[in-house]
Structure 1
């Protein structure tokens, strides 16, 4: 039998520190004075914790889930925090305390699984400084085993520890009982979060704080329309108490403050004070009455992954996979006259000066707009001056390389070749070989660019009749409203925007791909299977060939990489060439090129019609599942046929496309999306397939209002909370022509959190933390779960301001609330606020703990450099350490 966790009554706390040296915790008897502060920590539904974390092993309370006979049962939807290590050792924490990690090579869970379910296994390591140099990253694997036969259904492994292990159980997966075995065979110890979710669930992998890079001492400010009419940069800068302001188009400006030093990208060496100062300044800007939104100037990077050094054959397996040769027959125009703006690192020239020749396999299709800025890279990311051009914005979009001894990454050249390399007797051919390629340089040294430059470039492209489609093989995690506004403007001007979905292997929204008016493109290998690195979920509208160097899925004897134009610049000598790469960066230009083919056979093609075709299933092959593949893999022949036929059905969609309820959140909303966007659609009938489900729509017939949210409610009275429920909302509708269209179906799931006694996020350390930059732990207690919640109390706390936080230390490294650990902060995780102690006791304080982390959009600003809260381990005047847990066993 697995060891049961102790409730609060089974814990003897060895001492609680406070500001005045005394201490007590866990509650008080009725004849004692009320504690200074007390409250309850609740748990997110369906939360579970590994039975043998390092913290459990430390105090001798570890259970056993290391074999199938002692496997730990999970509900069919669960978020589980855990710990694994291949060895035992001591962390190098540079403190007087010894924090040990313990051997625990495998954890086995049992769960009911069915077709469409998602399993995600994410790992998180302690800081590298805690281990000797040369310590390998975790080597880990996940097996799914049929509980009846004992046969392994599949095994997924990741030796580097850099990407989540994730799968969606495909069509034909037999519903039943399975074991999920997580194991490690070497490398550093690690925390993990295992997530089980239905296929219709939204993002479930946000278990870490996103830290997109940004430029310190810079902000992107979008003003209210009436606030800055007619004002120049100097006036804007003065009004913002800044040193410089540059117009980015529309109502957006890049603002730079004068801090007496060069602006630099955020890096591991950037002092924490600079990060905090910049974000604090941006928050202050956002509070101004004349400002609509103020945001960091996020850094965006190329979404390319360099493959292993395998021999590459000059073959483009990716084109037959999407029926491109047949599409060329149907569209012999080959994209002629259609302008593709490749916003990237620029384009290879045999000398990067304005007089050089472009890559010979693209040269005939390159279109430079004379006298216009086509290099938007800021000076701090630029090295143009080596070739006679000024650093910063100019008219020459040549890729100057990286200025390093070894050959540079000619990312933009590779992307441009996929989209529109010339049909000649040499090298490769592009998807749209007669299209016009407009190189627009927005990524500088190292394949990095910032949001201000990208916004400026997109706003320029929106005004140019030469441009029909914008390819963005780049991404970052910053959900910039100013960038979205620029993209919306470009879409309104008739430019289709295509972006790489990202290479992190996660379902966290990645921007710009996740914006509504962007076609987010995931990657597949030579057999049409999702590439191991390709993101899933909200960033993926469809997929295209992106390659996977770890596979030979089409069995042609070589790795599945995408061959395209390239170059070398060893010793400053620029030589054109070809190379094979993998990444969603390579997938995106396939879609941009297909759009060029469509527009060349139908000049009336617009982004709106493209999205209508996409939602209607006219551009892709049916996907195995929408989570990984979106609408499916682009089919060039189907796409050209759709454009030639010209008929676009009127389609009604919902955002989000599915709804989930959990018994606590029993009301949600969705909005309608119409395709085409100007269609007149009338709802004729609404059917809810379950009596517990209701939709807040007026009695049909009723016209669709795309901007007005629709409220959906569930009534859980009388439902068995140990069960999961599913239903559908079916909406019948017709267009203005009176034709009945196929109905809109919105899947709905209701999954209760289970019995309160089953909830457990592990032993929690509750801290009162100083509000200065040191975040020193002033008082501390430890509590266990009882009936689905944790109760805590502090006595004898010195009056003052504190942060109130709680969390687990599952890897026993002396830090709580690290990514992958349960964490609660008052009042909301990710947005801690000061709590004042003094005077009347504070009772009934409530927090919620979870292994998940809020998104940047929920927090308003990213959270940089957060490494958790340090536990006290030395009790000062006490004889025993605070972390020691004694039991009556």
Structure 2
């Protein structure tokens, strides 16, 4: 067979393989007479685009121009765009013999049609810190939206540093039309970015990095199939699993530990890679057992708060007037009396964390304990309270022992408990439900960390306790644990409302536990009711509440918008109660827990089901500027109490899913109805829509107890356009009761791109060794043609390889990093070996994308993956690349 080896200019990139002059890689040798050893195609998702002047393009002299409005790069009205920006030129410190350079590119400008509800996400990804001199600043960047007709700057979000994405949502009243989207940088390190444009009804579009939730090495949470381990003790289960230990977590879930006598530690940057991979491999083996429903890592979760503000404490709680709480107290003078709020957190401040200490004076009057029961669920490896006389591990004392460090610890649980139910005692602060019962349940240990097994155990316990009505989880960061969701569902079935912080990552990726169906996920707003800069959006947010934003004084009261609540210090081991201002979705969640306590104190029949239906009917919140950022809107305590006081609750009909999306390939969808009350006898009276492409629904044929199929007819439609309408369903209560407003289901029809418009950037296709070195054995470069990349390798030694492809937009010598386009065989995130024998292997297919699969899709996290390193050499012949590329 022929072999073609060229040297290309990555400061000397050795391209070993076949470069074809048509479509970015051929299906055989240059002459076409001999079939290649390995060949195939790489497709990409619709509406994928790449920046015209990446560092890779600049390097080879093929960069386009999108640096001005006159040369702006056109985008479809929804898109995923990969790009590169840098305020300067320099060289990466890659510790290799090859020189990898970055180039100045300070602005990229795109043109797109935008309309109300659209959202724009600008996510940044840097090379490792070691690639830059010590002291290099993080990138500074700006997102600007400009009216293309008038030149008016509609929105500027600038000088944002750090890892949080910039999110812009086109709010109510936004005028539909043509706009420029200008991305720029004014300093700091070079970076890759992914820009996403999406409509309000779109699912998560920000999963552009591999999620890496921490987990405990050598531990698993295993949920068995019903009855397979009934009546067995921990020893029997451990023996059956060939494990050292097993502990029952309630229901069918067990925590399983693989090795005895070894300390179980959380992952960190210093955790050896083999410990991570061995644990994940073992968990996958457990999950393959016939008696196991699901086996998952024992995820670590953390408190969802941002660091305490350093300014002096503030004297007023601006957050309460924002949600009309003072008026709600008049309507609910019971103040949550008799309602139990389980605050599952770091525990509670005690002036001596031993069981003889005094609790925080502004909470102690509302504290409730369950005698003889475990209230501290923190496992020994995360616990340090043995120095205060407790056993190291689970016990009946939920006191927060601090962190045992010289500086003051985070008394996160104390702050959360104070928001939910601090005592009305004319001193300090007051809680949302000042007469409620606070049950502190310690599930977060040293450093504000906990693990899934402890949390599952605590929730299963709470589900059995009549003293508990609402469970507050101001924590997050877990993977989508089915075992945890099962425990939450059990608690919900037992009548406990579960409320969780939506997370502080500024993303629309699902965050758990907030994103679970039976959890009220709470985002954060500032003093003006505007989404806090850090607060997550999308599927984790059912509604929002005051969480503060220390970078703003949105209510213009002269002080930063932080939430004041109970706190403490433990400098030098001396515990002193106090108060502090914090920000975070951790602070938002207990506002909702407290409001629920107010509602239940005026209506003992209040249930989670009723709360969710009130929420769906808009009876608990002020109308939101948009659902993406705010869910159902800002919690309104007065409206919520009024809803609970109304004895003639309206019959409510909701749809699941709440919106429908079609794309020209999927032209049929279905939804189901949810009713409140669940046994309501509802008749559909009419169904209307305003779109001729939506096939009419027959109101008389709809049964609210069965799925409804919705279809679209795309014939004659312009496939470059996006279409939208609403299905409006009028209904009546056959029992004669009042009904809420009609059910409205948004519908979107968005076609895919024309193949010739798709482009995810120049791709480097690699054959990689399967040993631990992951050395690149051979590689070729391909470009897109008609929506695909075609590749071929010749003269490949028979054997096993990994096959991967991706961009190197920032020219740092790595592909498939977060923020780069990436394809792996057969599925991104789940690479498998490809076997090359003596006969040619053709027709291999891959898919490339700037997005990354979720943990749910991969099964377990992909921890520590840093991409694939390109094969490099010593020569620089970028001119050859220019010739190859321009001749396509």
Tell me which interval the TM-score lies in, with the shorter structure as reference length.
over 0.9
How far apart, in 2, do the equivalents of 1:413 and 1:565 lie? 6
Post-superposition Cα deviations, 1:783-808, rounded to whole Å, max 9, x if no partner, equal 11112211111111111222221110
Q: 1:316 Cα shift? A: 0.4
Measured in 2, the distance between the counterparts of 1:838 and 1:79 equals 38
Corresponding residue for 1:730?
728
- Alignment of structure 1 residues 340-359 onto 2, 5 Å: 340-359=341-360
TM-aligned CA deviation for residue 490 of structure 1: 0.4
Give the structure 1 partner of residue 527 of structure 2.
Answer: 526
Give 3-state SS (helix, strand or coil) of 2:144's partner.
strand
Aligned-partner SS, 1:785: coil
**Alignment partners' CA distance in 2, 1:148 and 1:22:** 49
The residue that corresponds to 1:766 in the other structure is 765
Q: Show the counterpart of 1:630.
A: 631
**Pairs within 5 Å for 1:140-289:** 140-258=141-259, 261-289=262-290
Please state how far the C-alpha of 1:652 moved relative to its aligned partner: 2.4
Does residue 439 of structure 1 match 2:446?
Answer: no
Q: Is the 8 A contact 1:344 1:472 kept in 2?
A: yes
Aligned counterparts, 1:714-725, within 5 A? 714-725=712-723
8 Å CA contact 1:145, 1:154 repeated in 2: yes
- Contact 1:18–1:778 at 8 Å: present in 2 too? no
Compute the displacement of 1:667 (Å).
4.2
Equivalent residues of 2:672, 2:704 under 8 A apart: no
Distance 2:38 2:17 in 1: 14
| 2:389 pairs with 1:391 | no
User: Aligned partners of 1:753 and 1:308: how far apart in 2?
Assistant: 47
Structure 1 pair 230/128, CA: closer, same or farther in 2 (3 Å)? Answer: same
Report the counterpart of residue 618 of structure 1 in structure 2. 619
Given that 1:685 and 1:701 are in contact with CA atoms closer than 8 Å, whether structure 2 keeps it comes out as: no
CA distance 1:696–1:829, change in 2 (3 Å): farther
Equivalent pairs counted in the alignment come to 874
Partner-residue secondary structure (3-state), 2:69: coil
Moved more, 19-28 or 172-181: 19-28
After TM superposition, the structure 1 stretch with the greater mean CA deviation from structure 2, 338-347 or 60-69, is 60-69
Q: Could you say which residue in structure 2 is the equivalent of 1:554?
A: 555
Q: Report the equivalent of 1:418.
A: 419
Q: Structure 2: how far apart are the matches of 1:883 and 1:711?
A: 56
Aligned residue runs from structure 1 range 322-337, under 5 A: 322-337=323-338
- Residue 650 (structure 1) shift: 2.5
Secondary structure at the aligned position of 2:70 is classed as coil
Kindly state the Cα deviation for residue 148 of structure 1 after the two structures are TM-superposed.
2.1
- Residues 852, 666 of structure 1: alpha-carbon distance in 2 compared, 3 angstrom cutoff: farther
User: Which residues of structure 1 form unaligned runs of 5+?
Assistant: 1-10
Q: Answer yes or no: is the 8 Å Cα contact 1:85–1:190 preserved in 2.
A: yes
3-state SS in 2 of match to 1:104: coil
Note the alpha carbon deviations across 1:61-93, whole angstroms, 9 max, x for none.
111111111111111111110000111111111
What secondary structure is seen at the aligned counterpart in 2 of 1:457? helix
Q: Shift of residue 361 of structure 1?
A: 0.3
- Over residues 312-350 of structure 1, what are the superposed CA-to-partner deviations in whole Å (9 max), with x where a residue is unaligned? 321001111111111111111111111000000000001
Aligned to 1:54: 55
- CA distance 1:42–1:211, shift in 2 (3 Å): same
Q: Which residue matches 2:64?
A: 63
Alpha-carbon distance between aligned partners in 2 of 1:882 and 1:793, rounded to the nearest angstrom: 22
SS of the equivalent of 1:598 reads: helix
Check 1:816–1:19 CA distance in 2 against 1; reply closer, same or farther (3 A cut): closer
| Cα distance change on mapping 1:266 and 1:735 into 2, 3 Å | farther
Partner of 2:463: 462
Residue 119 of structure 1 corresponds to which residue in structure 2?
Answer: 120
Report the CA distance between 1:755 and its aligned residue: 2.0
Offset of 1:683 from its aligned partner?
4.7
* Paired position in structure 1 for 2:775: 776
Quote how far apart the aligned CAs of 1:745 are: 2.2
The aligned runs of 1:423-572 (5 Å cut-off) are 423-572=424-573
**How far apart in 1 are the matches of 2:662 and 2:553?**
41
**Superposition deviation, residue 118 in structure 1:** 0.4
1:399-453 deviation digits (Å, cap 9, x = unpaired): 0001110100000000000000000121000001111100000000111000000
| Partner-residue secondary structure (3-state), 1:702 | coil
Cross-structure match for 2:817: 818
| Residues 587/760 of structure 1: CA separation in 2 closer, same or farther (3 Å cut) | same
Q: Secondary structure of the equivalent of 1:628?
A: helix
CA contact (8 A) 1:781 1:882 kept: no
Q: What is the CA–CA distance in structure 1 between the aligned matches of 2:506 and 2:752, rounded to whole Å?
A: 27
1:20/1:181 Cα in 2 relative to 1: closer, same or farther (>3 Å)? closer
Rate the CA distance shift 1:495–1:330 in 2: closer, same or farther, 3 A.
Answer: same
The Cα offsets for residues 553-609 of structure 1, whole Å up to 9 and x where unpaired, read as 111000000000000000110000000000000000001001111111111111111
Partner secondary structure for residue 416 of structure 1: helix
Q: By how many angstroms is 1:688 displaced?
A: 5.6
| Distance in structure 1 (CA, Å) of the matches to 2:19 and 2:62 | 23
1:827 paired residue number: 826
- Matched with 1:5 is none
Aligned to 1:800: 799
Distance 1:34 1:726 in 2: 48
Q: Which moved more, 1:258-267 or 1:853-862?
A: 258-267
Superposed counterparts of 1:608-757, under 5 Å: 608-683=609-684, 686-687=687-688, 689-694=690-695, 700-705=701-706, 710-735=708-733, 737=735, 742-757=741-756
Query: Contact between 2:61 and 2:882, CA under 8 Å: does it hold in 1?
Result: no
Provide the rounded CA distance (Å) in 1 between the counterparts of 2:446 and 2:671. Answer: 42
When residues 879 and 558 of structure 1 are mapped into structure 2, their CA distance, relative to the original with a 3 A threshold, is closer
The question of whether the paired residues in 2 share the 8 Å contact of 1:143 and 1:155 is answered with yes
User: In 2, are the aligned partners of 1:84 and 1:184 still within 8 Å (CA)?
Assistant: yes
Judged with a 3 Å threshold, the aligned counterparts in structure 2 of structure 1 residues 683 and 272 are, in CA distance, closer, same or farther, namely farther
Distance between the aligned counterparts of 2:260 and 2:671, measured in 1? 45
Counterpart of 1:242 in 2: which secondary structure?
coil
Counterpart-to-counterpart distance in 2, 1:774 and 1:673: 53
Q: Which moved more, 1:626-635 or 1:729-738?
A: 729-738
Q: State the distance in 2 between where 1:534 and 1:202 align.
A: 17
What secondary structure, in the 3-state scheme, does the structure 1 residue paired with 2:644 have?
helix
Structure 2: runs of 5 or more not aligned:
none
How many angstroms apart in 1 are the aligned matches of 2:852 and 2:387?
44
1-side partners of 2:481 and 2:709: how far apart? 27
Residues in 2 aligned to 1:68 and 1:731: alpha-carbon distance in whole angstroms: 44
Gap change, CA 1:787 and 1:641, over 3 Å in 2: same
Kept in 2, the 8 Å contact 1:243–1:257? The answer is: yes
Q: What value does the CA root-mean-square deviation take over the aligned residues? A: 2.4
CA spacing shift, 1:605–1:792, aligned 2, 3 Å = same
Q: What is the distance in 2 between the residues matched to 1:671 and 1:694? A: 18
The whole-number CA distance in structure 2 between the counterparts of 1:512 and 1:677 is: 25
CA contact (8 A) 1:14 1:884 kept: no
Q: Distance in 2 between matches of 1:534 and 1:573?
A: 34
Residues 96-153 of structure 1, C-alpha deviations (whole Å, 9 max, x = no match): 1111111111111111112211011000011111111111111111111122222211
1:477 & 1:394 partners in 2: Cα distance? 24
Distance change (3 Å), C-alpha of 1:259 and 1:191: farther
Residue 283 of structure 1 aligns to a residue in which SS?
helix
TM-score, normalization by structure 2: 0.95
Pair 790,112 (structure 1): closer, same or farther in 2 beyond 3 Å: same
- Give the conservation status (yes or no) of the 8 Å contact 1:609–1:648: no
Native 8 Å contact 1:680 1:704 kept in 2: no
Tell me how far 1:736 sits from its aligned partner.
5.2
Q: 1:751 to 1:59 in 2, by over 3 A?
A: same
Q: TM-score, normalised by structure 1?
A: 0.95
1:188-247 CA-partner distances (Å, limit 9, x unpaired): 110001111111111111111111111011000000111001000000000001110000
Q: Is the 8 A contact 2:6 2:15 kept in 1?
A: no
2: distance between equivalents of 1:20 and 1:174? 50
**1:320 aligns to what?**
321
Distance in 2, matches of 1:698 and 1:242, equals: 57
